[in-house]
Structures are given as structure tokens and as C-alpha cells.
Amino acid sequence: MASSRREQILASAAELFAERGFHGVSVHDIGAACDISGPALYRHFAGKDAILSEMLISISEELLAEGRRRAADAESPELALRALVDWHIEFALRHPALIVVQEREWSNLPADGRAAVRSLQLSYVDLWVDVVRRLRPDLDRPTARAAVQIGFGLLNSTPHSARISAAAMRSLLERMALAALLDQPLEAVG
């Protein structure tokens, strides 16, 4: 029960942080969203900083672990890139609040949380860079890293994008990300 309560707290806090910002949300607000008292929240987390840290560290761990698994399971570099793009789109469409919190609340992370998230994120970026460079040997590492980060900007725009159906958004994001990363015209990517 404790881990499911922790997950409930993290999910509720993510929604509240995305909606109101980290400083616009109190421990009591998070507790109320979970049907527990603010002070009862302290049985699960030391405070808001700990909630934010665990939230962003755990999503970074999930992105990296699943990205590694999907890339390793792919039979070719092209399929690995498609698997990574598919995974990131899946995550972004399923968790728009976490994308917003990651983007907006970075500066509110305690230093140790920032270091942990940054390390995980760099490993995730490097995973993508390695795959992109197998497909684009013309790119040096810094340029491939820039291309990947531009791709993330596109994929992480989902919380702010015009609302179309999830299937249409998934298809559009996939085609646009692959076209950008492979430096191909949009119509050439299928």
C-alpha cells in the first residue's frame, strides 16, 4: 500500500505542479488531492522538495531504462531510432504534466536531485546520440547531440501542441521527429 500511496502522491503532485507551479502548491494541496492530510504526507516524503526530486529522478530512470531496452531489442539502427521515438512519444502523450514539470521546475530541484536528474538525462541523450550517429555517420558527436536535443524539443512540445486526436498526434510527431533526426523531407519518412 505504501508504494501505491507514494505513486498517488507523485501523480497528484505532478498535476498540481504543472497546473500551478511548484511554489503555487502546498503540502496541504497535495494531501487534499490524495485524500490525506498535509501532515500525513510527511509519512511518505520529507516535503515538497523530496516529492519533486523523486518525481523527476524516477521519470528520468524510466525513460533511460525503457529506452535502453527498446534500443537493445531493435534489429537495426533504424528500428532502434524508431523504437526510441515511439517510446518518447508514448511517454510524452501519457504524462504531459511530467513534461511540463521537468521543463518548468528544474531550478526548484535541490542540488543533489539536479545532479541525479542531469546524469540520467545525459545518459538518455547519449543513448539517442549513439543510435543517430550509426544512421548519420556524417554527424560529429556535438552535432548529433544538438540534433537529438532539437528532437526532444519537438517531442516534448506535446503539452503545448494544438489538440488533435492522440493517434494523429502520435503519427505527426513520429514523422516530424524522424525527418528532423534523419535530415530527410517529411514526406520521405513513413
What is the extent of the structural domain holding 159? 52-188
pLDDT for the residue numbered 190? 64
In a domain, 13, yes or no: no
Report the SS3 class of residue 189.
coil
In the structure, what pLDDT confidence band is assigned to residue 159 with cuts at 50, 70 and 90?
Answer: confident
pLDDT (tens digit, 9 = 90+) per residue, 21-32? 999 999 999 999
CATH of the domain at 139: 1.10.357.10
C-alpha cell at 136: 548519420
Please report how the helices 96-104 and 2-20 are oriented relative to each other, as an axis angle in degrees rounded to 10: 60
In a domain, 19, yes or no: no
In a domain, 9, yes or no: no
pLDDT at 2 over 50: no
In a domain, 45, yes or no: no
C-alpha cell at 120: 540520467
> Which residue did the predictor score with more confidence, 181 or 38?
181
pLDDT (tens digit, 9 = 90+) per residue, 44-98? 999 999 999 999 999 999 999 999 999 999 999 999 999 999 999 999 999 999 9
What is the average pLDDT across 97-123? 95
Mean pLDDT across the chain, nearest whole number? 92
